[in-house]
Amino acid sequence: MKFFRKIFLAIQHFLLPIILTSATALILAACNPTNFKSAAAQVPQLVSSILSDPKTFNYPLSQESPNVFPLIYEGLITQNPITAKVEPALAESWQISDDKLKIVFTLREGLKWSDGQPLTVDDVVFTYNDIYLNEAIPTDVRDSLRIGESRKLPTVRKVDERRVEFSVPEPFRPFLLSTGSPILPSHILQKSIKTKDQNGSPTFLTKWGVDTPPDEIIVNGPYKIERYDTSQRVVFRRNPHYWRKDAQGNSQPYIERVIWEIVESTDTSLLQFRSGGLDTVGVSPDYFSLLKVQEKQGNFNIYNGGPTSATSFVWFNLNKGKRNGKPLVDPVKSRWFNNVQFRQAIAYAIDRQTMINNTFRGLGVAQNSPISVQSPYYLSPKEGLKVYDYNQQKAKDLLLKAGFKYNNNQLVDSQGNRVRFSLLTNAGNKIREAMGSQIKQDLSKIGIQVDFTPLAWNTFTDKVSNSLDWEASLMGLTGGLEPNDGANVWAPEGGLHMFNQKPQAGQKPIQGWEVAPWEAEIGNLYIQAARELDEAKVKAIYAQTQQITQENLPFIYLVNPYSLSAVRNRFEGIKFSALGGAFWNIEQIKIKD
């Protein structure tokens, strides 16, 4: 995505910093992370920011991004975001059987948890058999492990004190990559799996919430949580028992402490970075021109990783089900939303190029696929992927063909109901709020009234994933190189099948939930692609899934921005990647001064 607009007028370069600084002096005095640093021992540290408080410290139950887990946990393997190669992590090696049905991993010697206890094969078996593969635990990890039409799960068994075997009932192409999920401590969590609450659910479902004392959260990654101050910050401290060492035998990571300031406004994050309070900040379109001219003076560098792996989209609630006899979506609006011509008209009516030019200042590209452009399975428009270039007349023609009509330039359905719906997003993200405002304006030009409402993050996610009390939403998901990692989005029963969500474990039941034929077809194609070992055939299958999604538009994709971050020059070892960002290799990064 091309983020930015043309260069600001010279007067704006001089006046904008003065206005913003004077208006927020009191905020900076209270929130500047240097105040926290002065109160603690000066140690090598990295200070960055996040928009909202963490929702959980329990990895299997988390659906948010960013989250704390890449800093505090590791799995058996990892994938290098630059080379895309699978690399050893907790496992030093692995062996795949000739029939592709078994992988035997050998753990490194001497692995330990952050409390000093040994990390063993028993922890691996516990993590998979008792948590990820346990149907009583509502985790998205399980969706990416399901195999074939039967949706069977792998079996995991201990071979000996250092080896563990994973077996699948049929060839499963993403088999190796699916073993990268964090390994969790059995000596801490096993009791919570076996103990049930009054509803018969494992007490694990309430384990390690954000109110848990940090020293009770036992981890295996480069850092452990040292402190969490609600609405202020999360502080991570180097894990002294982390296994990695450099070529000279020195323990890693080198940076002693990582601080995430919780800053609910991207404007405030920018001010904190420019004042020296943050070491790094994501560079959004409206900040680029301002920051670019200050690189040398501010002793930082703006890294550009090209298009991000994230998606942004509008989607409608296609769920036709009821709870307690009441429809989740007004039946009148549900008929609109479930009409593919209506969704296609919306796609044609959104002026994505203007969104790129204005909101993203030219630093972005139009997005048309759920699969990341970096993936070898991405289908480009040149290869036949359908696109929805801005065309108001085409939008109106589709609506008229679908039975809608115009009454004094207002769109009404065949029963005379005015077409009006609410569009939700998360508050605090200026780019997303600007996108929503433009969508409201664009759709007004074809006679549709949109009530655009940004909500607090926790309120927004509760509506989208729990109460299902919403009509249309604007959000995004983070992708990767392997499409099967998104199986929980495309499997009709998946935990992130947001456009037609089936209730997850612990949620109220839904009566009359339906799956459309095209919806089921995408899910089946994902199963086929995971089973197929011929790469050319895999690419053809995923091409078909992308064509179906673009024809039926469960998600109306918008803009893919460039991955841009500003990082202080005092950090060495940065290998910036759109997939991993600036600090994906944080254990190798040093501070020069």
Residue 344 CB neighbour total at 10 angstroms: 22
Please name the residue that has the structure tokens 């612990």. Answer: 506
Query: What is the pLDDT, as a whole number, of residue 265?
Result: 84
User: What's the mean pLDDT in 187-215?
Assistant: 95
Which three-class secondary structure state does DSSP give residue 29?
A: helix
User: How far is the C-alpha of 217 from the C-alpha of 507, rounded, in Å?
Assistant: 26
* 3 state SS for 210-267: CCCCHHHCCCCCCEEEEEEECCCEEEEEECCCCCCECCCCCECCCCCEEEEEECCCHH
Widest CA span of the chain, in angstroms?
76
Looking at residue 471, the DSSP 8-state letter turns out to be: S
Fold exhibited by the domain 2-72+221-299+569-591: D-Maltodextrin-Binding Protein; domain 2 (3.40.190)
- The pTM assigned to this predicted structure is 0.74
pLDDT digits (tens, 9 = 90+) for 49-91: 998 899 999 999 998 878 999 999 999 999 998 888 999 999 9
Which of the listed CATH numbers 3.30.2010.10, 3.10.20.90, 3.10.105.10, 3.30.1300.10 matches domain 310-561? 3.10.105.10
Query: What is the pLDDT, as a whole number, of residue 579?
Result: 86
pLDDT digits (tens, 9 = 90+) for 306-349: 898 888 999 999 999 999 999 999 999 999 999 999 999 999 99
Cis (ω within 30 of 0) for the bond into 169?
no
Do the Cβ atoms of 367 and 3 come closer than 8 Å?
A: no
**pLDDT exceeds cutoff 60 at 31:** no
Fold exhibited by the domain 77-192: Dipeptide-binding Protein; domain 1 (3.90.76)
Query: What is the pLDDT, as a whole number, of residue 403?
Result: 97
Where do the structural domains in the chain lie, given as residue ranges? 2-72+221-299+569-591, 77-192, 310-561
Do the Cβ atoms of 169 and 152 come closer than 8 Å?
A: yes
Query: What is the pLDDT, as a whole number, of residue 8?
Result: 25
Query: What is the pLDDT, as a whole number, of residue 347?
Result: 98
User: How far is the C-alpha of 392 from the C-alpha of 133, rounded, in Å?
Assistant: 48
Query: What is the pLDDT, as a whole number, of residue 225?
Result: 98
Residue 1 — very low, low, confident or very high, per pLDDT cuts 50/70/90?
very low
Query: What is the pLDDT, as a whole number, of residue 65?
Result: 76
Please name the residue that has the structure tokens 């921005």. Answer: 561
Residue 11 — very low, low, confident or very high, per pLDDT cuts 50/70/90?
very low
pLDDT digits (tens, 9 = 90+) for 118-156: 999 999 999 999 999 999 999 989 988 888 878 899 999
pLDDT digits (tens, 9 = 90+) for 433-488: 999 999 999 999 999 999 999 999 889 989 998 999 999 999 998 778 899 988 88
User: How far is the C-alpha of 214 from the C-alpha of 217, rounded, in Å?
Assistant: 5
Query: What is the pLDDT, as a whole number, of residue 76?
Result: 98
Residue 86 CB neighbour total at 10 angstroms: 15
Parallel/antiparallel/unpaired status of strands 102-107 and 420-426: unpaired
Query: What is the pLDDT, as a whole number, of residue 443?
Result: 98
**pLDDT exceeds cutoff 70 at 396:** yes
Looking at residue 128, the DSSP 8-state letter turns out to be: I
Q: What is the mean pLDDT of the chain?
A: 90
Query: What is the pLDDT, as a whole number, of residue 438?
Result: 98
Do the Cβ atoms of 488 and 494 come closer than 8 Å?
A: yes
